[in-house]
Amino acid sequence: MSTTDVERPLRADAARNRELILQTARKCFAERGLSVTLNDIAHEAGVGVGTVYRRFADKDSLIEALLATKFEAMNDAAARAGDEADPREALRVYLMGVFEFRARDRALADAIVRAGKARPSIVQERDRLEDQVSTIIRRAKDAGVVRQGFDYRDLPMLTTMLGAVADATRGHDPDAWRRYAEVLIDGVMPGTTEAPMLGEPLDRETIERALHAQS
In terms of domains, do 65 and 51 share one? no
Nearest Cα neighbor of 162 from 149, 175, 148 is 175
| CATH code for the domain of 139 | 1.10.357.10
| CATH code for the domain of 35 | 1.10.10.60
In terms of domains, do 62 and 45 share one? no
In terms of domains, do 34 and 99 share one? no
Give me the number of domains the chain comprises. 2
In terms of domains, do 25 and 63 share one? no
In terms of domains, do 204 and 152 share one? yes
pLDDT digits over 36-62, tens only?
999 999 999 999 999 998 888 888 888
As a whole number of Å, the end-to-end CA separation of the chain is 63
In terms of domains, do 36 and 96 share one? no
Bigger pLDDT: 213 or 2?
213
Confidence of residue 15 (pLDDT cuts 50, 70, 90): confident
In terms of domains, do 41 and 66 share one? no
Q: How far apart are CA 98 and CA 145, in angstroms?
A: 19
In terms of domains, do 36 and 65 share one? no
Q: How far apart are CA 41 and CA 44, in angstroms?
A: 5
Share of the chain above pLDDT 70, in %: 90
At 7 the pLDDT is 38
Nearest Cα neighbor of 111 from 129, 93, 96 is 129
In terms of domains, do 73 and 1 share one? no
Q: How far apart are CA 93 and CA 181, in angstroms?
A: 11
Bigger pLDDT: 33 or 24?
24
In terms of domains, do 33 and 68 share one? no
Determine the structural domain holding residue 189 and report its residue range: 57-214
In terms of domains, do 10 and 105 share one? no
In terms of domains, do 49 and 98 share one? no
Average pLDDT, the chain: 85
